[in-house]
Amino acid sequence: MITKQPSHQFERIFSTAHLHAPKNLDTDSISQLSKWQQSKLPLYLEIGAGKGKHALLFAKENPESRLIAVERTSEKFTAFDKQASVDILENLIYIHADAIAFTAHFIAPNTLDGAFILYPNPEPSNKNQRWLNMPFFEFLLSRLKPNAQIVLASNITAYIDEACARLDEVWQLPYQKRVIDKQSARTHFEIKYLARGEHCQELLIKKPEGYRTRFDDFFAKGDM
């Protein structure tokens, strides 16, 4: 099933063998997810959506696009749910789940027009848990359409520098690095960091035409 040679030489391969599908998704959400992935409208995924500030803002500003926002932490998801219940948006689905398990079981290959990873945990004690150091990143790339873009933002310069090195040396992906405007307010973390005067940066990572992964034809069928 996983036969294509990848466009990179990552030393480990992502496995879904012991990764269980999230159990708390209602049937309406699962049905909607399936329909969205078959639609021609642009579809985006946000990993670690927090309290939902960016997700709600993006959905409001991009009515012709659809966003799936995933948050694992119960406290943050509760705050997200409370706000989303006030600002009901038909182009937003928000999911309380682990993003890796959710993506593995519910996102089909070649369906996403983009993904957002905004201010992830830098995992200071375990660098192997950083997104570009994980085999899951290859799987995430397989879910993207050609020319789709991942936006990765952080206030930690060393995190961004390491990500750039991984993109150059391992993933072999083109990207742009830019400083985030001091007036930007996409997430609660971004507001806090910029108010402190911290140096916030983002990487715009592009999946080019012809980029291959070992998961291009893989989908955990039966979960949709």
| Residues 16-54: tens digit of each pLDDT | 888 888 887 888 888 999 999 999 999 999 999 999 999
Give the C-alpha separation, 200 to 173, whole Å. Answer: 21
Q: Which of 83-87, 96-100, 127-131, 142-146 has the lowest mean pLDDT?
A: 83-87
Q: Which domains does the chain have, with CATH numbers?
A: 27-206 (3.40.50.150)
pLDDT at 222: 42
Is the model's pLDDT at 90 over the cut of 70? yes
Residue 120: how many CA atoms within 13 Å on its side-chain side? Answer: 23
Say what the pTM is.
0.94
- Tokens representing 105 are 């079981």
Give the C-alpha separation, 154 to 141, whole Å. Answer: 20
pLDDT at 223: 45
Task: Give the residue from 150, 164, 163 showing the smallest Cα distance to 204.
Answer: 150
Q: What is the DSSP letter of 45?
A: E
pLDDT level of residue 224 (50, 70, 90 thresholds): very low
Give the C-alpha separation, 201 to 220, whole Å. Answer: 35
pLDDT at 154: 98
Q: What is the DSSP letter of 158?
A: H
